[in-house]
Structure 1
Amino acid sequence: MSNNTKKTSGKIATLAAHTLNSPTSSATARSLAASALAQKSTDKQTSAEMEETAGKVLGSDKYNEDTKALAASVLSQANKAR
């Protein structure tokens, strides 16, 4: 299995923390934020389920720019072989 060595940037990690602390954040945004933070300082990669969620977010007009930024970050850290 091919590994993706990308890590979440400080800017995205800050956005993710704000998203998790905001009472108005959607469940989808919170899931993406948690995934992004889990990949900040570890070798963890995006799961297939989160890849699918991130792809749907990026293809939808329903989500705001912050949620799309989290989705893009999570998707960029996906397993290269999938």
Structure 2
Amino acid sequence: MANNTKKTSPTVASQAAQVLKDPNASAIQKSLAGSALSQSGTSNQTGGKMETTASKVLNSPKYSDQTKTFAASVLAQANKERK
């Protein structure tokens, strides 16, 4: 499988770090934030389960713009060859 060399931007990484410290953030938001943050400055790629979660978030109207930003970042760093 080919590697995806995209990384989380410093702005999104900073927002993700803040969400992880927020006791009022939802579990899904923290999960996506953690995944996005783990891909900041590393060669980590999104796993299949997280890809599915991120896709569901992007397709649902119930999530905030910030949560969708994390989901989009996570999906952008997915392995392109995974089906």
TM-score by length of 1: 0.97
Q: Distance in 2 between matches of 1:33 and 1:59?
A: 18
Shift of 1:23: 1.1
2:1 aligned with 1:16: no
Q: Which runs of 4+ in 1 moved over 3 A?
A: none
Compute the RMSD of aligned alpha carbons. Answer: 0.5
Q: Which amino acid aligns with 1:18?
A: Q
Q: Distance in 2 between matches of 1:71 and 1:11?
A: 14
Runs of 5+ in structure 1 lacking a partner? none
SS in 1 for 2:12: helix
Shift of 1:41: 1.2
Q: Distance in 2 between matches of 1:71 and 1:32?
A: 6
Instruction: Look up the match of 1:46.
Output: 46
Residues 15-70 of structure 1: per-residue CA shift (max 9 Å, x gap): 10111011111100000010011100111100000000000000001100000000
2:61 aligned with 1:61: yes
Counterparts of 1:17-36 in structure 2 under 5 Å? 17-36=17-36
Q: Distance in 1 between matches of 2:55 and 2:19?
A: 19
Q: Percent identity?
A: 57
Runs of 5+ in structure 2 lacking a partner? none
